[in-house]
Amino acid sequence: MEAERHEIVVIGAGVSGIYQIKRLTDLGIDAIVLEGDDDMGGTWYRNRYPGARFDSESYTYGYSFSKELLDEWHWNERFSAQPENLRYLNYVADKFDLRRHMRFNARVQTMIWDDVEHEWTIELQTGETYIARFVVTSLGPLSMPTLPRYDGIDEFAGESFHTYHWPKEPIDLAGKKVGVIGTGATGIQVIAELADKVGELKVFQRRPNWSSPLNNGPISVDEMAAIRDRYDEIFTNCSASPGGFEHVPDRRGFWNLTAEERIETWDKLYQQSGFAILAANFLEIFFDEKANQEMSEYIANRIRDRVDDPEVAEKLIPQDHGFGMQRLPLETRYFEAYNRDNVHLVSLADAPIERITANGIQTAAEHHDLDVIVYATGFDAITGGYDRIDIRGVDGQTLADKWSESPRTHLGALTHGFPNMLMVAGPQSVSGSTNFPRAIEIGVDWLTDLLVHAREQGATRIEARLEAEQHWVEEVVRAHEKMLFRRSKGWFTGYNSNVAGHQEGKIRYQAYFGGSPKYVAIIDQAAADGYPGVELV
């Protein structure tokens, strides 16, 4: 079969890939998107589990690039759910006629760099081959789900699936005994949603997570009209904030206020929606151990107020990390789920899982009979999507090898030794730490400008300079070191117990935590200076 040639191949038709192909085709560049799934939408195509919804305000999550689109789309809820989110992405693709540039069931298996011709050869699982001058990876930071490595996992006779692979066809869980393993942002959403819809729900919790109310609600036609009028202001506010939200950090100074004044502030934040409790909190909670402890105790007391059984409440309160030190899950009546007779918390800290059996889960203490097991066990975050492709750069070096200890990039966008591979939402960009679409629009625009610049220069090979990469890695490490969360587990610090090679306590520097405004200032300066960290040939 002859290889199909394009100037640019984009990999992944999720939130990033959709905008990337829009930008490229608007410029008249010959580009296509290769998508492994049988349809577009990425994270919102896959995560169909009950309760899956934004925890960014819907109107700050949507694309900002088209006024017409902003005027046409009505968000029904403040934090919109998966079906509506997928409809939105399809609406965008149809409106701008983007589907014709997308190939589905096109899972990329290998990418091999040719340093003579200056092009990538991309082979799919199907055996089809593409050749492209440039590849833009928009693989998604959370697209590689991970299952636990328990014995017997294949022996379970009932239905079992990772939340990322929740079946497309509706499944009837009424009256069933359901086990959920995992209490991250996903687990917390799905547990709260399933509690009153299943016969019995057992939650297998290894470590509890802090969580606070999402405070969702509908958006009326009038409210949506007011939001539309404010879109310019909304996106300006998002671009000024570290996390890409409208919330503004409280800069009055934690220690300038009395303990009562702080509680008064937190009482208000607890009623607000979304990430206000983090992003509009005192900045000190992220840097000052004592401030963080006081905040954590406040949230612990809220959990104690909401959970009837004091023993269960204590088990739901994290002891090994403070509030906001891992990615904060947002919840809707999650803690109240444990007040129901049919919901049971199984603390794996007391009795770990020994194995999965044909009809349930065996812990060190007892056997739990189950009809369905839901694995809400997370992802090989940020670099997982890269690791599943065999990517070979200059002199046959593999990307997996280069990044085996920790990823290394220039501005989260390029990596030395892998010319003409440009990453949207790549490792060490700001995407992992920001309201995602806000960061990807920034990333896509920057990469597109770089591609245009390269074409204008007649360059056929662009590569991050080694010293520029080293400089950025040091900046990423410096930003991490300032944050208290550097000592916690979880994907912020690049740890997943289910991934071979990850070591507890060893940080993989996967995201830039210096805040979006600082990141934008740095990458904009690089562009204004003619991309000094990138060699063009």
Q: Using CB under 6 A, list all residues that contact ligand NAP.
A: 53-55, 142, 148, 181-187, 189, 206-207, 327, 348, 376-379, 491, 497-498
Q: Whose Cβ is closer to ligand NAP: residue 147's or residue 522's?
A: 147
Least Å from the CB of residue 318 to ligand NAP: 9
Distances (CA, A) of 173 to 186, 205, 348, 487, 509: 18, 21, 24, 39, 40
Closest CA to 423 of 142, 135, 143: 135
Least Å from the CB of residue 22 to ligand NAP: 23
Number of helical (H) and strand (E) elements in the chain, helices listed first: 18, 20
Least Å from the CB of residue 82 to ligand NAP: 9
Least Å from the CB of residue 187 to ligand NAP: 5
The secondary element (H helix, E strand) that includes residue 53 is none
**Biggest distance spanned by C-alpha atoms of the chain:** 73
The token pair at 210 is 């802090």
Distances (CA, A) of 95 to 44, 75, 196, 251, 493: 18, 17, 39, 42, 39
Q: Whose Cβ is closer to ligand NAP: residue 56's or residue 292's?
A: 56
DSSP code, position 145: B
Amino acid in the structure at residue 374 = V
Q: Whose Cβ is closer to ligand NAP: residue 129's or residue 497's?
A: 497
Q: Whose Cβ is closer to ligand NAP: residue 185's or residue 345's?
A: 185
How far apart (Å, rounded) are the C-alpha atoms in residues 331 and 213?
A: 5
Q: Whose Cβ is closer to ligand NAP: residue 121's or residue 498's?
A: 498
Contact 301, 310 (CB under 8 A): no
Q: Are strands 177-181 and 372-375 parallel, antiparallel or unpaired?
A: parallel
How far apart (Å, rounded) are the C-alpha atoms in residues 44 and 80?
A: 11
Least Å from the CB of residue 115 to ligand NAP: 37
Q: Whose Cβ is closer to ligand NAP: residue 182's or residue 417's?
A: 182
Q: How many CB atoms lie within 10 A of CB 418?
A: 25
Least Å from the CB of residue 441 to ligand NAP: 17
Radius of gyration of the chain (CA): 23
Least Å from the CB of residue 219 to ligand NAP: 17
Q: Whose Cβ is closer to ligand NAP: residue 207's or residue 315's?
A: 207
Q: Helix (H, G, I), strand (E, B), or coil: what is residue 301?
A: helix
**Cα angle at 322 between 248 and 181, to 5 degrees?**
105
Contact 507, 521 (CB under 8 A): no
Q: Whose Cβ is closer to ligand NAP: residue 393's or residue 407's?
A: 407
- Residues 6 or more apart from 223 whose CB is under 8 A from it? none
- CA 273 vs. chain centroid, Å, equals 19
Distance linking the first and last C-alpha atoms of the chain? 31
Q: Whose Cβ is closer to ligand NAP: residue 53's or residue 410's?
A: 53
Contact 324, 287 (CB under 8 A): no
Q: Whose Cβ is closer to ligand NAP: residue 318's or residue 533's?
A: 318
Least Å from the CB of residue 346 to ligand NAP: 10
Least Å from the CB of residue 212 to ligand NAP: 14
- Residues 6 or more apart from 493 whose CB is under 8 A from it? 480, 485, 486, 507, 508
How far apart (Å, rounded) are the C-alpha atoms in residues 69 and 431?
A: 23
Least Å from the CB of residue 388 to ligand NAP: 17
How far apart (Å, rounded) are the C-alpha atoms in residues 180 and 200?
A: 11
Least Å from the CB of residue 119 to ligand NAP: 35
- State the residue number with the nearest CB to ligand NAP: 184
Q: Whose Cβ is closer to ligand NAP: residue 419's or residue 427's?
A: 427
Least Å from the CB of residue 436 to ligand NAP: 8
Q: Whose Cβ is closer to ligand NAP: residue 120's or residue 512's?
A: 512
